[in-house]
Amino acid sequence: MLLRYWPESTNLKFMNLRMGGALLSVIMITASIFFLGTRGLNLGVDFAGGTVMELQQTETVTVETVRAALPFNAEVNTAVGTDARPIVVAKFGAADPAELGEEFAHLAPAAQAERAQQMTNDIVARTLKEKLGLTDEDFLRDDSVGPKVSGELFRSGILALVVALALMLAYIWFRFEWQFSVGAVAALAHDVIITLGVFSLLQLEFNLTTIAALLTIIGYSMNDTVVVFDRVREERRKYKKMPDRQVIDQSLNSTLSRTLLTSGTTLLALFAIFFLGGPVLRGMSFALIWGIFIGTYSSIFIASAIVLSLGMDLNKKPAEEVTGFQGIR
Amino acid sequence: MLQFPPWKICLILGIMLWGTLMALPNVVNMSGAPTGIPKQGVNLGLDLQGGVYLMMEINPDEVVANRLEVFAIDVRNALGNKDGKPLIGHLSTVEGRTLNVELTRPDADGNFPMDEALTRIRKLNGSVEGAIGGAKTYEIESAGPALIKVSVPSTSEETLMKDALGKTMTIVRRRVDPEGVSEISITPQGNNRIILEAPGEPDATRLKNLLSRDGKMTFNLVENSPSAIAAAEKGVVKPGYRLLSGPQTGQLLVRNIPEVTGADIATASQGYDDGNRPQINFRLNGNGASKFYQTTRNNSGKLFAIVLDDTIMSAPRINEPIPGGSVRITGDFTLEEAQDLAAIIEAGEMPAKVQFLDQRTVSATLGQDSIRAGVRASLIGLSLVAIFMILAYGLMGIFAVGSLAANIILIIGALSGLGATLTLPGIAGIILTIGMAVDANVLVFERIREEQRAGRSPLTAVQAGYERALSTILDANITTFIAAAILYLLGSGPVKGFAVTLAIGIVTSVFTAFVLTRWFTVMWLKGVKPKKFAL
């Protein structure tokens, strides 16, 4: 017979735990802000500028030989490549102007900022080819971002997050009541801050793909919150005499099996990427896995709890509002 | 909710057929298929295919300065002794974004011919192309008794930049792809940027070398009197000349004003000399050929230098007048160098030097590994989700898995059909969609379960389940769609690829979960007519 992974009906008193949840969230947010303030984010070349070169590790190409061959200071590490073989990763910024020689000194100051990284790359690539006998084919990846573009990418990344939050706020306001909108966006901000905190704590690389992951977390968390809110609104109208707390608890319980199932399947897919999708996707899938947990948590303990504290106004939006979508059938 | 009239069924089947046809070339080689059937699979991003991505910028300051340098030559001609008008002595210098024309010869009373000079220079000032109200290209004003300042106003700068960007793109294309056969894509971004994407396994260093040169080609006469050379070596360079060097020629004293310039060159190509070594051949146009003939006739016995970007490529001796305008550069070139130099010379001079802002190279091997890893992760993710759904919902789970498979086909079909680019994060987007696509199914199934528990018959439970879940499904997916749309608008490169697959995935998963699964369920309910609905 069918797998019963969850009892048919539960009656958990989530809202009794909301003060505990609030406390936990305050602690996590404080810690996140503390980490962001003290350790900062480990910005990748997308945002910090600089160059990353990846080489296949061989007998002659190791962390030690690459470090010894490089003419400038660079961060050289090993990592696991896509096909599980080890690779050597070198990360460096622009070299000191004094080391770039005559040609650089003659450049216009405006051109120097962008050229410095470029010239450093050329020197590094040439030195590695000479000293370690490499050819172009040995460079698995060679990404270099100048200071101008990295600044722009960072600003547009942050802008994307802010615009997304604002639009979600507007959408929920339009579909529900303002209390829901506040709850939903507080939950999203909570998710974003804590995820940034985790990236800071673990010093995981923060790059363009991480921004994509954050926006997806926002989308997912929103998805989860909306499902709960829809049910809260429905039950609120059905049981007019019932206190808010009970309505919310009941809604959370009736959507609980859906919440667990959906996060379960999404997690299954994400774990597949995390373990099998190769190193390029590992950071992104980690962020998403974390986001599923935090998003599910926040829709219960932040979004719903805030709606409960702010109270619901029954008479504002009639149930028939849904009719706008009926034509789609 | 439970009615499926024939037109609706046709529509569903039509959509599925379209998706399958579009997706097919990704799995099967369709080159033999009849016309009208798509043969092209999904475009792979550079991170999956391997290749080079370059973002270049041309500096507006430099474009303006170069333009003013050209204007300075016109000014020199206009202020010269021409059409019976007297010469106005002056000195032109370009400083940042202004051209300073300083009058140097006052008349007997110590006054400068300012009005006359202004009139002559203003005559050169044309209107901006396409501008409303006849805005002028230059702003020309007197700034003191003997100083005229020429600058470029912002309206005209815009046109100038557009022009420069267009020219640069053409030159970039002609340099990197002289035959016009490669798959290199060159696109503008904003008003001063160019993005070049070269798939496969191109040589990034070679590409950059090709593009980082100005491509300014000139033929200049060489001063070879021993005394002038000796003086120049001591630091006293003969006026009108300068010292340049080249790998084969060493230092030479070269006349500033060229005899023939890059604009006089009609074609350039790589060829071989008598010893079968690579050389560069080029052909001058009519004007260039006659100038070249004059020069060679009048300067027998002298050297002339072929100068590219202030480096002497070669400096042959003029033995006899050369008609016809065929010139060649021999030297110690590798085949590749000769080909690249020919492409640079033929493409012409860049309006301004390009600056590389963002450069990414992925090797083809890494790309293939990424595809393999992505496909493996997708298949395993898909099977895990399928097992989970069937365990949780039994027969309805099988329906859901059926529409999940249809969903994947539709996503791949839509990606191929829309000509979207699949990137590695895009594959992650598909896998994420696999996980999230079941959400709509789950929402409905949970609702049906509840309705059944409330004592409804299978048919009415299904009806109510779908009706009630609809607004939730739409709300939930519209919010995610907003996130995807913002990612697309503000993201770049691989992130854009992720946004596209996520957005397509949202649309297709709502369709498959809400329409396809419902159709399966209704067909089954009407065919089997179960008393109790195991869910």
pLDDT, tens digit (0-9, with 9 covering 90-100), for B95-108: 888 999 888 888 88
Is the C-alpha dihedral spanning B301, B307, B310, B313 positive or negative? negative
Give the residue on A whose Cα is nearest the Cα of B466: A329
Q: Are strands B43-44 and B421-422 parallel, antiparallel or unpaired?
A: parallel
In chain A, what residues touch B499 (CB-CB under 8 Å)? 212
CB-CB contact of B452 with B400 (8 Å) = no
Candidates A261, A267, A284, A322: best to mutate against B (most CBs of B within 10 A) is A261
Q: In whole numbers, what is the pLDDT of chain B averaged over residues?
A: 85
Q: Which residues numbered 29-58 in A keep a CB inside 8 Å of some CB on B? A: 54
* Mean pLDDT to the nearest integer, B185-193: 88
Tell me whether A254 touches chain B (CB under 8 Å). yes
For residue B145, give how far its alpha carbon lies from the nearest alpha carbon of chain A (Å). Answer: 31
Collapsed DSSP state (helix, strand, coil) of residue B310: coil
Q: Which residues numbered 194-223 in A keep a CB inside 8 Å of some CB on B? A: 208-209, 211-212, 215-216, 218-220, 222-223
Q: Determine the pLDDT at residue B507.
A: 92
Selecting from B61, B388, B502 the residue whose C-beta is nearest the C-beta of A110 gives: B61
Q: Determine the pLDDT at residue A294.
A: 93
In chain B, what residues touch A86 (CB-CB under 8 Å)? none
In chain B, what residues touch A183 (CB-CB under 8 Å)? none
Among A29-38, A60-69, B24-33, the least confident range: B24-33
CB-CB contact of B291 with B264 (8 Å) = yes
Angle at B20 between CA B17 and CA B21, to 5 degrees: 85
Q: Determine the pLDDT at residue B410.
A: 93
Among A224-228, A291-295, B174-178, B232-236, the least confident range: B232-236
Whether residues A278 and B373 touch (CB distance < 8 A) is answered with: yes
**Do the interacting molecules here have an ipTM over 0.90?**
no
CATH of B213-360, one of 3.40.50.2000, 2.60.40.1080, 3.40.630.40, 3.30.1360.200: 3.30.1360.200
Nearest C-alpha neighbor of B156 from the set B181, B132, B185: B132
DSSP B162-202: HHHHHHHHHHHHHHH-TTS-S--EEEEETTTEEEEEEESS-
* Mean pLDDT to the nearest integer, B239-244: 82
pLDDT in tens, B273-313: 888 888 888 888 888 888 888 888 888 888 888 888 888 88
pLDDT in tens, B119-162: 888 888 877 766 566 678 888 888 888 899 999 888 888 888 88
Q: Determine the pLDDT at residue A194.
A: 95
For residue B39, give how far its alpha carbon lies from the nearest alpha carbon of chain A (Å). Answer: 28
In chain B, what residues touch A88 (CB-CB under 8 Å)? none
How many beta carbons lie within 10 A of that of residue B163, not counting itself?
14
Collapsed DSSP state (helix, strand, coil) of residue B317: strand
For residue A175, give how far its alpha carbon lies from the nearest alpha carbon of chain B (Å). Answer: 8
Q: Determine the pLDDT at residue B132.
A: 62
* Mean pLDDT to the nearest integer, B346-357: 85
* Mean pLDDT to the nearest integer, A9-16: 82
Superfamily (CATH) of domain B6-47+363-528: Multidrug efflux transporter AcrB transmembrane domain (1.20.1640.10)
* A198 pLDDT higher than 90: yes
The domain segmentation of chain B, as residue ranges, is 6-47+363-528, 51-212, 213-360
* pLDDT band at residue A327 using 50, 70 and 90 as cut-offs: very low
- Report if pTM > 0.80: no
Q: Six-digit token pair at A82?
A: 């896509």
The domain segmentation of chain A, as residue ranges, is 14-43+149-315, 50-145
DSSP conformation class of A319: G
| CATH code at A50-145 | 3.30.70
Nearest C-alpha neighbor of A257 from the set B456, B392, B472, B395: B392
> Hey, what CATH class is A14-43+149-315 in?
mainly alpha
